[in-house]
Amino acid sequence: MKRVKIGNCLLEIIQGDITEQDTEAIVNAANERLIPGGGVDGAIHRKGGPSILEELRAKYTHCPTGEAVITGAGNLKAKYIIHTVGPIYKNGKSGEEELLASAYKNSLLKALEYNINSVSFPSLSTGAYGYPLKDASQIALKTVISFLKEYQKPELVRFVLWGEEAYKIFEHTLENLLT
Ligand code: ADP
């Protein structure tokens, strides 16, 4: 694990499972129709139980790419789930970078709206949506660092990487951004 201070806030990167995190909120890599899928989304709905989908259905019809919605977290340790939709990677020239940055930023804005002090993110768009990990790690970390500098909140942002390769890429990107 690696932890750095950005002003008074903490930024952490760990290798692990997003569904096991005890931060106040965890972020889900959802799809626009908010229909439970595979990857992070499947794991969250499986472990969190049916109340998450019930709340999504009651409150929302869909979520456009780059935006975020919020529900409770059912049986998970977190209190909230922020569901955001990252872009599907096509060729890198179809607005993917801006949309990925928006997904991170709008998730953090949603956290502030609910006075949430700690948030865990998976690496959005880098599974089924095919975003190259190295590029995605730069957008993810740059966006979160500039958000923390600007808003000085939330107190803790944790990236939870599934697997050693993803963890190493994020660690390397973070070191480069801070030097
Ligand atoms: P997307 O559809 O946005 O690409 P995925 O859920 O397919 O989302 O994958 C996003 C990233 O999350 C991938 O790098 C994948 O390896 C990782 N991942 C899968 N399961 C978990 C988990 N339980 N915790 C954290 N990360 C996970």
Cα torsion at 147, 151, 152, 155 (round to 10°)?
-70
What pairing do the DSSP bridges indicate for beta strands 9-15 and 2-6? antiparallel
Which tokens go with 19?
């569904």
Question: Between 133-151 and 164-178, two packed helices, what is the crossing angle to 10 degrees?
Answer: 50
**Residues within 6 Å of ligand 1 by CB:** 17-19, 29, 39-41, 43, 86, 122-129, 160, 162, 166
CATH number at residue 146: 3.40.220.10
Is-catalytic flag, 22? no
Count structural domains, the chain. 1
What is the model's pLDDT at position 56?
98
Whole-prediction pTM value? Answer: 0.98
Helix (H) or strand (E) holding 14: strand 9-15
Per residue in 73-93, pLDDT (tens digit) is 999 999 999 999 999 999 999
Tell me, in angstroms, the distance from the centre of ligand 1 to residue 83's CA.
13
Residue 115 C-alpha from the chain's centroid: 17
Instruction: Give the rounded percent of residues in the chain with a pLDDT score beyond 90.
Output: 99
Boundaries of domain holding 49 = 2-178
Tell me, in angstroms, the distance from the centre of ligand 1 to residue 126's CA.
7
Q: CA 151 to CA 141: how far, in whole Å?
A: 15
